[in-house]
Structure 1
Amino acid sequence: MRCAGIAYRRWSSACCRPPSVSDSRTIAAPRLWSSRQVLLLAGVLLIAANLRPGITSVSPLLVPIGASLGLSSFGLIALATIPVICFAALAPVSLPLQRRFGLETVVLGVLTLLCAGLAIRLIDAAPALFIGTVLAGSAIAVGNVLIPAIVKRDFAGRVGLVTGLYITTLYITASTAAGVSVPLAQASALGWRFALGAWAGPAVIAVVVWLPQLAHGATRAPLQYRGGGLALMARSPLAWAVAMFMGLQSLGYYAVLSWLPAMLHQVGISQAEAGLMLSVSTLVALPSTLITPSLAARSRDQRGLTSVVLAVTLLGYIGLMVAPGAAPWLWIVMIGLGQGAMFPLAMTFIVLRSNGPTEAMALSAFSQTIGYAVSIAGPLGMGALHAATGQWWPAMAFVAATVVPLLWFGLRASRPETISL
Structure 2
Amino acid sequence: MIKEEEKEDTPLFKDAPAKTRFDVIIMAVGVVIVGATLRAPITSVGPVILEITEQLSLTPVLVGLITTIPLMSFALLSVLAPKAAKRIGLEKLLLYSMLVLAFGLLVRSVGNVFLLFIGAALIGAAITIGNVLMPAFIKKEFPNKVGLITGFYLVSMNLTSALAVGFSISIGQSTGLGWKASIGIWGVLALIAFLIWLPQIKQRSGVESESTSRLSSKALWKSRLAWQISILMGLQSFFFYTLAAWLPAALQSWGMSAESSGWMLSYIQMGQLPIMLIGPIVAGKMKDQTSLMWITFILLLLGLLGIIIWKTEFIIISVILIGVSLGLAYTLVTMFFILRTKHSSESANLSGMAQSVGYLIAATGPPLFGALYSLTNNWYVPFALLLVAAVFLLTSGLASSKDRYVS
TM-score tier, shorter chain, comes to 0.7 to 0.9
**Which of 355, 365, 368 is the equivalent residue of 1:378?**
365
Q: 1:245 to 1:385 in 2, by over 3 A?
A: same
Partner of 1:6: none
**Which of 287, 292, 295 is the equivalent residue of 2:274?**
287
Partner of 2:293: 306
Matching of residue 222 in structure 1 with residue 203 in structure 2:
no
Q: Which amino acid aligns with 1:350?
A: F
Matching of residue 141 in structure 1 with residue 103 in structure 2:
no
SS in 1 for 2:406: strand
Comparing 89-98 with 63-72, greater Cα deviation is found at 63-72
Partner of 1:202: 189
Comparing 151-160 with 256-265, greater Cα deviation is found at 256-265
CA distance in 2, matches of 1:318, 1:36: 48
CA distance in 1, matches of 2:51, 2:383: 23
CA distance in 2, matches of 1:391, 1:77: 23
Matching of residue 406 in structure 1 with residue 384 in structure 2:
no
Partner of 2:228: 241
CA distance in 1, matches of 2:322, 2:299: 7
Tell me how far 1:70 sits from its aligned partner.
4.1
Tell me how far 1:90 sits from its aligned partner.
0.4
CA distance in 1, matches of 2:104, 2:48: 18
**Which of 76, 85, 88 is the equivalent residue of 2:75?**
88
CA distance in 1, matches of 2:188, 2:327: 26
CA distance in 2, matches of 1:181, 1:351: 34
Tell me how far 1:281 sits from its aligned partner.
1.9
Q: 1:320 to 1:166 in 2, by over 3 A?
A: same
Kept in 2, the 8 Å contact 1:378–1:399? The answer is no
Q: Which amino acid aligns with 1:53?
A: A
CA distance in 2, matches of 1:291, 1:266: 36
Kept in 2, the 8 Å contact 1:98–1:222? The answer is no
> Residue deviations 1:5-58, cap 9 Å, x none?
xxxxxxxxx8xxxx9xxxxxxxxxxx9972211111111111100000012222
Tell me how far 1:401 sits from its aligned partner.
2.4
Matching of residue 49 in structure 1 with residue 36 in structure 2:
yes
SS in 2 for 1:157: coil
Q: Which amino acid aligns with 2:341?
A: S
CA distance in 1, matches of 2:172, 2:382: 28
**Which of 353, 361, 367 is the equivalent residue of 1:366?**
353
Kept in 2, the 8 Å contact 1:117–1:133? The answer is yes
Q: 1:306 to 1:277 in 2, by over 3 A?
A: same
Q: 1:321 to 1:136 in 2, by over 3 A?
A: farther
Partner of 1:317: 304
> Residue deviations 1:161-189, cap 9 Å, x none?
11111111111111111222233345454
> Residue deviations 1:365-403, cap 9 Å, x none?
111121122111123434555566666554443333211
Partner of 1:159: 146
> Residue deviations 1:301-336, cap 9 Å, x none?
111110111211222233334554333322221111
**Structure 2-normalised TM-score?**
0.87
Please give the root-mean-square deviation of Cα atoms over the aligned residues, in Å.
2.7
Partner of 1:28: none
Partner of 1:27: none
CA distance in 1, matches of 2:54, 2:384: 28
Q: 1:311 to 1:238 in 2, by over 3 A?
A: same
Partner of 2:46: 59
**Which of 318, 329, 340 is the equivalent residue of 1:331?**
318
Partner of 1:297: 284
Comparing 347-356 with 387-396, greater Cα deviation is found at 387-396
Tell me how far 1:273 sits from its aligned partner.
4.2
Partner of 2:27: 40
Kept in 1, the 8 Å contact 2:217–2:346? The answer is no
**Which of 140, 152, 160 is the equivalent residue of 1:173?**
160
Partner of 1:417: 404
Unmatched runs of 5 consecutive residues or more in structure 1: 1-13, 20-30
Q: 1:202 to 1:392 in 2, by over 3 A?
A: farther
Comparing 341-350 with 367-376, greater Cα deviation is found at 367-376
Partner of 2:15: none
Kept in 2, the 8 Å contact 1:103–1:222? The answer is no
CA distance in 2, matches of 1:354, 1:157: 15
> Residue deviations 1:217-268, cap 9 Å, x none?
2xx1235561364432111111111111111111112222344445545555
> Residue deviations 1:102-139, cap 9 Å, x none?
01110011111111122222222333332222211111
Tell me how far 1:272 sits from its aligned partner.
4.7
Partner of 1:24: none
Q: 1:75 to 1:97 in 2, by over 3 A?
A: same
CA distance in 2, matches of 1:378, 1:277: 19
Kept in 1, the 8 Å contact 2:82–2:345? The answer is no
Partner of 1:257: 244
Comparing 156-165 with 228-237, greater Cα deviation is found at 228-237
Q: 1:257 to 1:33 in 2, by over 3 A?
A: farther
Tell me how far 1:93 sits from its aligned partner.
1.7
**Structure 1-normalised TM-score?**
0.84
Q: Which amino acid aligns with 2:38?
A: L
Tell me how far 1:287 sits from its aligned partner.
1.6
Tell me how far 1:275 sits from its aligned partner.
4.1
CA distance in 2, matches of 1:313, 1:320: 11
Kept in 2, the 8 Å contact 1:182–1:272? The answer is no
Q: Which amino acid aligns with 2:72?
A: I
Q: Which amino acid aligns with 2:81?
A: S
The size of the alignment, in residue pairs, is 391
Comparing 190-199 with 55-64, greater Cα deviation is found at 55-64
Identity of aligned residues (%): 33
